[in-house]
Amino acid sequence: MRECVFRALLQKNIFYFDTHTTGELSTILNINISKIHDGIGDKLALLIQSIAKFVISLIVAFFRGWKMTFVMLSLAPFILIVSIISSKMFGKLFAQELKAYERAGAISEEVFSNVRTVFAFNGTKHEQTRYEKHIESARKHAIKKGAISGIIIGLMYFIFFASYAISFWYGNYLIHNENYDISNVIFIFFNVIMALLSLGRSTTYRESINQAKIAAAPVWDILRLEEQTICTTDRKIPNMNFCGKVKFNNVFFSYPSRPDMVVLRGLTFEAEAGQTLALVGKSTCMQLLQQFYKPTRGQIMLDDQSIECFDSQELQRKIGVVNQEPVLFATTILKNIQYGQPNATFADIQAAAMTANAHNFIMSLPDKYDTVVGEYGTQLSGGERQRIVIARALLRNPTLLLLDEASSALDNQSEKMVQQALEKASKAQVFQEPFDEVDDNISSSPELTPFISKIILLFFHVHWPSLAILKMNRPELLLIIIGALASMFNGGFEVGTCALLGEIVGNFMFACSGEALTKRLRAKAFQAILRQEIAWFDHPDNNTGALCTRLSSEAATIQGVAGARIGVILSTVGNLSVGITIAFIFGWKLSLVALGFVPFMVIGGFLQIRLMYGYSSQNNKAFQCAGSLAFQALQNIRTLRQLTLEMQFINNYYHLLDIPYRSSIRRTYIFALAYSFTSSTAFFSMAAVFFYGGILVKRNEMLFKNVMIVVNCIIIGAQSVPYSAAMVPDYGKAVSAARRMLALFAREPKISIDSHGSKLKNFTGDIHFKAVNFAYATRSRVSVLNNFNLDIKSGQRVAIVGMSGNGKSTLLHLLERFYDVQSGSVLIDTKDLRDINLHWWRSQVGMVSQEPTLFNVSIAENLAYGDLSRQVTIEEIIEAAKNANIHDFIQRLPQGYDTCVGFKGGQLSGGQKQRIAIARVLIRNPKVILLDEATSALDSESEKAVNEALTHVVTGRSSIVVAHRLSTIQDSDLICVLHNGHIVETGSHHQLLTKKGYYYKLSQCIR
């Protein structure tokens, strides 16, 4: 099922992902399908078993005496009525609960994928509040659901025991007035009671199935929405022989998510095969050429054929794409390049890397082409990522090459070499290049705008996580005590009123405590994740997909040791305890026989827990890997579609899920034997009690009446054992999840946001790098900074230039204290940065990254994110937007500043996102400004306006600018040339040009 849903999602049209976030879809793949698994797995088998027991018991009862059977069943219709009413109420609440968890999942995915931005703006508490708002909503719905469940189960037990009273009254009548003897009445009584007991206890299983039905609704929507799936018909041109002629004829277009805003108005142009065409500010044309969207009006022609006649995947194989924000997958460099052409040889890959000027830096890495780039390629610099993406596109040897600011992240020397390589590669191809800078297009044609042996240690090893997690339920201790007493009272004194009150109180109290625990676990896990240092997120096991999977599934799984399941277990304990006590009072010999079977039940139950614990622990890794792969695919769906990698990712996803599937098949046989052993032992105990009871009566050692009392006590108690045993799989999974959760809580970050460092009272803004050496933990053998020294005076504007991958962005990361230096120190006004309060320090710093990250909220909320310590007014937001030259664009949007920017700002262009990110920093009004290619995605006019705003902002403030553009750095007070991890030249623009050294060489090909 997971594979089918994943396959269906990868076949959706791109506009489907404009309105559905990756977080929501990941939640459906994880939580919803897990709920469906619960409903169609062992719970369905147990429901069928209960129904079979109900039917067979009634058939036997009717055969022996239909009159008494009918009378005992007179209250059965009420059970049906109660079930129907409860199902509707329960379903509505569960659907609302799932929806709230979907929203919470979307937030967690957004936060973890943008964790650097969250940390930089001290947004941890803000995001915790956003996340907890939705899980609190889910908690309230779940508590109402628990209350309804308690009322329903209580009513069923009340009806069940009411039929007890009717059977005793009518049985007595039949013995005296009809041809019934006492053996017949007892036989019918026990069969009907067994039937009703099975029916009543099937409620829990039906709840799971109802939850599965509700969880299946969004899954079914994904599978059946054909209108949002890529169309492949017989009318498509097979084996297309595409030459490269492109024509736009009176094309109008609006994005489906924003139909009121027309993006293209009657666009008309024509490009011949082999021609290089430059488009200024029209990335939308690229998306139309890739069939991501269809024009609202007009036609797009390829070789004089309508683009709609071409098969989407066939067309994609003829197109090479390099986007403004390069997308790499969390695998090796080799694999990332090979995605361009799966059948390419290593020699082909090397050739493409050489052409893209990437081969030399790749060979300088310890693992060379086998280097893992990390999530989003974060282990590489922006320029290095861009060159790998260019190499991937060139390896494709496309007929049509589409470049969207393809060299914006490159240093000047690399840009010049890549530009020449691209022009050489583009011969006999159409070269579509949307750029914001006219200077890049001079050569273009027409321009358009451990198993432990000892049993005691094993028990401790398995159950300790459960006890530790339950300690977190301490605030709800009173609720748990009341719920436990109610459940034990219900189990120990199963009569109508006791059952009704016991179930209602027990279920409600445990629903409150269980959901409070789940909320607390989710919130604490979310907080624990955001407490970790950035290097922790760089580890492959802690990618966004894996973290979201753990957060969404493990907290819910841990309810296996809390909530209503405790009520079920305690009810069984109370049932057995009181039953055995009464049985011993009326016949200790007979009771000892029954008690002799208890150890076998305990052994069977423990074996089930151990099996499930081992299964869950071993398969968790596979599920996390599958979740991570699905997350990558959905988040980068455009890149996936461009590279026609859908089937490759589907096959990889299938193979990852095949591991736990085969493991579960092997364990199912053993688990079924263990469960059967535990359940059947209860019935063997009843048979032994009946047999030995007969012997004792025959020997006159017991009265028949006392034998019946003991038998009743044993039967009622034994019947509850299989019911509790059915909860064992949930408990086993919960123990495994609890262990992983506790490990997360216990981990102490190496860089703590809660550090109690000092706050500088008279902060001037002096920054000093003293003999700094640094290497990333994931690439410890590659030294990024070597004995790096730099002094920045208060108010000084310092520019850092140099080739890509030489550590320019790393300097900014060290200043934000995303990482700590291996040796040396970073001083702020003579104070070591490691001794300064981290929260205070980050509030003094404003950073604009090379690849801006926005949140899936309104433009106004994204701008207000600049200063979360106060309420930012709309006037401040508008002023900052004007200074960043984005106000006019926002005003033209139908909803203005209330326009939602989409996931990662997907509804905006790169330049628009960059300007909003700059405006966000302007609102922060920081004392230290860090700009990492802040204007790389802007057109010349916007860059000029933004540079003027930035010049005004940096006045009197310390600022570090990483840039390639001459216009951005030439007015800096100090320009530092970085090479091989240390500074090789410093001076002003004119001083460095005069030296004719490194800077001079860079400036020869500067923009």
pLDDT tens string 728-747: 556 667 777 777 888 888 88
Q: How far is CA 669 from CA 47, 522, 611, 612, in A?
A: 19, 34, 11, 12
Ramachandran bin of 978, using left for φ above 0, alpha for ψ from -120 to 50, beta for the remaining angles: beta
Do the beta carbons of residue 254 and residue 261 sit within 8 Å? Answer: yes
d(CA 199, CA 643): 55
Give the residue from 926, 947, 927 showing the smallest Cα distance to 938: 947
In this prediction, residues 911-924 reach a mean pLDDT of 86
Q: What is the mean pLDDT of the chain?
A: 77
Q: In angstroms, rounded to a whole number, what is the distance separating the alpha carbons of residues 216 and 2?
A: 12
- Residue 661 contacts by C-beta under 8 Å, 6 or more apart in sequence? none
Euclidean distance between CA atoms 579 and 162, whole angstroms? 20
Structural contact between residues 904 and 917, judged by C-beta atoms closer than 8 angstroms: no
Which of 413-427, 871-885, 925-939 bottoms out in mean pLDDT, i.e. has the lowest?
Answer: 413-427
Q: In 205-214, which positions are buried (b, 16+ CB within 10 angstroms) versus exposed (e)?
A: bbbbbbbbbb
Distance CA 76, CA 82 (A): 10
Q: Are strands 400-403 and 430-435 parallel, antiparallel or unpaired?
A: parallel
Give the pLDDT band of residue 140 (cuts 50, 70, 90). confident
Instruction: State the sign of the Cα–Cα–Cα–Cα dihedral 364, 365, 371, 377.
Output: negative
Helix axes 588-595, 646-698, angle to 10 degrees: 160
Whether 453 shows a pLDDT value over 50: the answer reads: no
Asked whether the beta carbons of 479 and 513 are under 8 A apart, the reply is yes
Residue 489 Cα to chain centre, angstroms = 41
Query: 580 pLDDT exceeds 70?
Result: yes
Convert the pLDDT of each residue in 480-503 to its tens digit.
Answer: 666 666 655 555 555 444 545 555
How many percent of the chain have pLDDT more than 90? Answer: 4
> What residue type is assigned to position 659 of the chain?
I
CA dist 567 and 561 (Å) reads 11
pTM listed for this prediction: 0.70
Give the tens place of pLDDT for each residue, 673-710: 777 777 777 778 778 887 888 888 888 888 877 887 77
What is the C-alpha separation between 377 and 362, in angstroms, rounded? 13
pLDDT above 70 (res 1006): no
Residues whose CB falls within 8 Å of the CB of residue 196, separated by 6 or more in sequence, listed in order = 54, 72, 76, 160, 163
For position 865, what pLDDT does the model report? 92
Token pair 């650097």 is found at 116
Residue 433 has phi, psi (to 5 degrees) of: -130, 95
* HSE-CB for 170 with a 13 A CA cutoff: 18
**Pairing label, strands 767-774, 447-448:** unpaired
Between 262-276, 529-543, 567-581, the lowest mean confidence (pLDDT) is in: 567-581
Tokens of 233: 């018909």
> d(Cα 151, Cα 504) in Å, to the nearest integer?
5
Collapsed DSSP state (helix, strand, coil) of residue 586: helix
Residue from 292, 537, 382, 331 nearest 852 by CA: 382
Sheet containing strand 400-403, edge to edge, reads 319-322, 400-403, 430-435, 276-280, 447-448
Long-range CB contacts (within 8 A, 24+) of 708-713: 708/186, 709/582, 709/583, 709/586, 709/587, 710/582, 710/583, 710/586, 710/587, 710/590, 710/591, 710/594, 711/686, 713/578, 713/579, 713/580, 713/582, 713/583
Q: Give the closest residue to 402 by CA, choosing from 635, 643, 229.
A: 643
49 has a pLDDT exceeding 90: no
According to the model, what pLDDT value does residue 450 have?
Answer: 37
Amino acid 773: pLDDT: 92
Residue 64: what pLDDT?
86
Banded model confidence at residue 953, pLDDT cuts 50, 70, 90 = low
289 pLDDT band, cuts 50/70/90, is: confident
Residue 155 has pLDDT above 60, yes or no: yes
Task: Tell me the residue ranges of DSSP E strands in 404-520.
Answer: 430-435, 447-448
Quick one: how far is CA 481 from the chain centroid? 35
Q: What is the pLDDT of residue 448?
A: 40
Which domains does the chain possess?
2-9+21-226+454-746 (1.20.1560.10), 246-448 (3.40.50.300), 767-1003 (3.40.50.300)
For 181-218, what is each residue's pLDDT tens digit?
A: 877 887 888 788 778 777 766 766 777 777 788 788 88
**Which helix H or strand E contains 390, and what residues bound it?**
helix 382-395
In the predicted model, is pLDDT for residue 585 greater than 70?
yes
CB-CB neighbours of 127 under 10 Å: 22
Q: Report the 3 state secondary structure along 859-905.
A: HHHHHHCCCCCCCCCHHHHHHHHHHCCCHHHHHHCCCHHHCECCHHH
